[in-house]
Structure 1
């Protein structure tokens, strides 16, 4: 069984291994080219004036092609993303200054999400074994963030984490495991601080 799995893995491209969460070589020429393209677009975005709104939006659309149908995406500079092609953000997404998203696996962010300054969302990790790590092998795991999330300044969301809807992540938190809907989490590692009671939308009175 193990031999069959090894043979199957050997036939996969490094990109396929990466997206499947298997050990892969990050400096594979195809992956390197994809990252270089994203770095160039990030450089262009970060060198574009905040007053050049249309130019910035065009760069963001090219950088995040899977989010081209989402409305009201605004990203402050500097911003860094590994690939861009594996990141999907929903409507009304806002990333404040200094955010980094390492989307070497699928990173999915829902609608109405806010990232405070210097948030790090990383689908990337390395083997614990030092020999394997020094060989250049890396591992990934997808990240999913639900609707209406607010992630505080300098918080880190680690590989494989899923956050539900309406989650608030406190400043400086390190999120190493998944959490459901309607919670405030914080600390290192993050834990539930409180549960939220979500108010109903106000009704218009005639």
Structure 2
């Protein structure tokens, strides 16, 4: 029998109120609180906190405030930068490549819920992974929905809502986000 955490990571319906998952979210929230309330001049301390939370190469920087669910489902590559107010709901894996820039207020959501109201009321939910390729720039206020893959060298326009995969070497924008130019 799978644990609720195993169901969560497999993309199956799971109960988010599970005791183990609740403790893990609390652990992450305490680290996030510490990070978000640390002095901007304490760069080394801030990086130490983030390294307890996410999997990252040495060259990355995240501005405060930053929010996530668990942290351990986030993997970022070299030269990653997230500007102010980044939210990553990492109920499932979020893999971000090298040289990725997130403008302010970018939101990555792996979590989703059933469209059936009766099933939603059970407290169960599920999640789909997000993958962002190398050399990607995501503009301010963009929302990346569950299960989306963004290809290498893509640029996502500010305010976009990305509901479907975006191929390599394009500029995409809008709500819903669509390719508007090949690079």
| Interval of TM-score (by shorter of Structure 1 and Structure 2) | over 0.9
- After TM superposition, the structure 1 = structure 2 runs for residues 1-206 of structure 1, keeping only pairs within 5 Å, are 11-64=1-54, 66-67=55-56, 70-196=57-183
**Which runs of 5 or more structure 2 residues have no equivalent in the other structure?**
none
Whole-Å separation in 1 of the counterparts to 2:97 and 2:89: 17
Q: Which structure shows the higher strand fraction? A: 2
Whole-Å separation in 1 of the counterparts to 2:25 and 2:65: 17
The runs of at least 4 consecutive aligned structure 1 residues that moved more than 2 Å come to: none
TM-score between the two structures when normalised by the length of structure 1 = 0.88
Offset of residue 147 of structure 1: 0.3
Question: How many residue pairs get matched?
Answer: 183
Q: Over alpha carbons, which structure has the higher Rg? A: 1
TM-score between the two structures when normalised by the length of structure 2 = 0.98
Secondary structure in structure 2 of the residue aligned to 1:139: strand
**Which runs of 5 or more structure 1 residues have no equivalent in the other structure?**
1-10, 197-206
RMSD: 0.6
Offset of residue 13 of structure 1: 0.5
